[in-house]
Structure 1
Amino acid sequence: MSTVLTLQGVHKTYRLGAHVVPALQGVDLSVAPGEMLALTGPSGSGKSTILNLAGLIDRPDAGRVTLRGRQGAVQADTLDETAATLLRRDAIGFVFQSFNLVPVMTVEENVDYPLFLAGLAAAERRERVAQMLDAVGLREHAHHRPDALSGGQRQRVAIARALVKRPALVIADEPTANLDSHTADQVLDLMREQGHAHQAAFLIATHDERLLARCDRRIRLLDGRILEGEAA
């Protein structure tokens, strides 16, 4: 399969009291292994809705969401809640603007947590965590808690946590918004390097021009529709 994620003819509406708000109106997109695809557009354009559908957190009202899991392509919008949770756990990593690290856990424990949830053996977990902390340059901080780290270091922990389970897709919501330019450049280099190394597709919602310029493609949204797709 040449794509990790495909959205076909996706529509989504939300109700706000008596009002019906069209969040997506017939969106088609796909993301390939190792590709960094950026979603851009003003607030309310549909970026977060696409991330929620791609992350199996929400379902479309119409259209199809197909995700490549470990067993091959799955039409994810037809899955029940249990199956969707298992596919999300196995195939998707998340990177958030606010890092979303567990404050009472060490760096090592934060990165290990997805592997623990997946039921991997302790020896394999230790090996994978050590490899990822080496890859993101944080091996010496393994036993520190997040509050002892800088913003850039926390985001590197978040990237390590997202990639340690070797997902097909990484979903990132404004991953550089809280970082200065130098740190953002380091994080972007790391995302691209590790995405290529693991053939993980990145689907990124961002307003950050630094990030948009470094992605392979960008898709511009307005009022729930794709305005243009262009090579970055």
Structure 2
Amino acid sequence: MSSTVVELRQVRKTYRLGIHRVPALRGVDLSVASGELLALTGPSGSGKSTILNLCGLIDRPDEGQILLGGEPVDLRRDREATLLRRDAIGFVFQGFNLVPVMTAAENVDYPLFLAGVAAAERKERVAAALASVGLSEHAHHKPDALSGGQRQRVAIARALVKRPRLVIADEPTASLDSETAEQVLGLMRELSRRQGAAFLIATHDERLTTRCDRIIALHDGRIEESLQ
């Protein structure tokens, strides 16, 4: 049975907009298992981005618990959260968020450099990551020389090169054509199985939701339904 990678327990989160308080999550329970692709769906303002930020340890809940690998995370300890983000979590964004002055290989290498991985090991892992996404021949190309699908594959390689337990993906196929989106979806599925990473994906893209293991629909900060 797959182990739980990240879990939210009765999590509540409210944001302030001027004098107003806007509830983003209203007592959410959620878990994502190793190797699972879980899609979060729902209209804007339903709570998808808040769940991504909480599970990615970017934000902290007002109430409730976040567990990573079965262990509660104390987000009041900034250094602990920073190290967990660096070592255990990968991020894939709709806008790719690649550094334009770096080559594909340098972009993929960057999280390993920040983690203090030795240069020889970094070189080996970057080459393997780029090969896994079919971009070995583009290692020395900068982002502006790559297509949208190739840039998204670089972003996925960068997220997975540090072998994270959890990958947070925010609309990863929204800007891609159907053929490229299909390639990216297949790649995410393959890598989740090969590396055992859990993928938590916020999306409106039906091409993606139909390929996920589970779909959770959100509305007004609550889980409306969970579909296998």
TM-score category (smaller protein): over 0.9
Q: What TM-score, normalized to structure 1? A: 0.96
AA aligned opposite 1:108: A
Q: Distance in 1 between matches of 2:76 and 2:124?
A: 33
Unaligned segments of structure 1, at least 5 residues: none
Give the aligned CA root-mean-square deviation in angstroms. 0.9
Deviation at 1:74, TM superposition (A): 2.9
Counterpart AA for 2:151: R
Give the 5 Å matches for 1:1-232: 2-68=3-69, 73-231=70-228
SS of equivalent residue, structure 2 residue 84: helix
CA gap 1:150/1:44 in 2 versus in 1, 3 angstroms:
same
Q: Deviations over 1:5-31 (max 9, x none)?
A: 000000000011111100000000100
Q: Whole-Å Cα distance in 1 between the matches of residues 114 and 99 of structure 2? A: 14
CA contact (8 A) 1:66 1:77 kept: no
Q: Structure 1 counterpart of 2:117, which letter?
A: L
Give the stretch that moved more between structures: 222-231 or 78-87: 78-87
Aligned residues: 227
Q: Note if contact 1:60-1:77 (Cα within 8 Å) is conserved in structure 2.
A: no
Report how far residue 77 of structure 1 moved: 3.8
Which runs of 5 or more residues in structure 2 are unaligned?
Answer: none
Q: State the Cα distance separating 1:79 from its structure 2 match.
A: 4.5
CA distance in 1, matches of 2:188, 2:111: 18
Q: Sequence identity, in percent?
A: 74
Q: Does the CA-based 8 Å contact 2:40-2:217 persist in structure 1?
A: yes
TM-score of the superposed pair, with normalisation by structure 2: 0.98
* In 1: Cα distance, 2:86 partner to 2:31 partner: 20
Structure 1's consecutive aligned runs of 4 or more residues displaced over 4 angstroms after TM superposition are none
Write the letter of the residue equivalent to 1:157: V
Q: Is the 8 A contact 1:65 1:76 kept in 2?
A: yes
Q: CA deviation at 1:126?
A: 0.6
Contact 1:168 1:200 survives alignment (8 Å) = yes
Question: CA–CA distance in 2 between the matches of 1:74 and 1:147?
Answer: 41
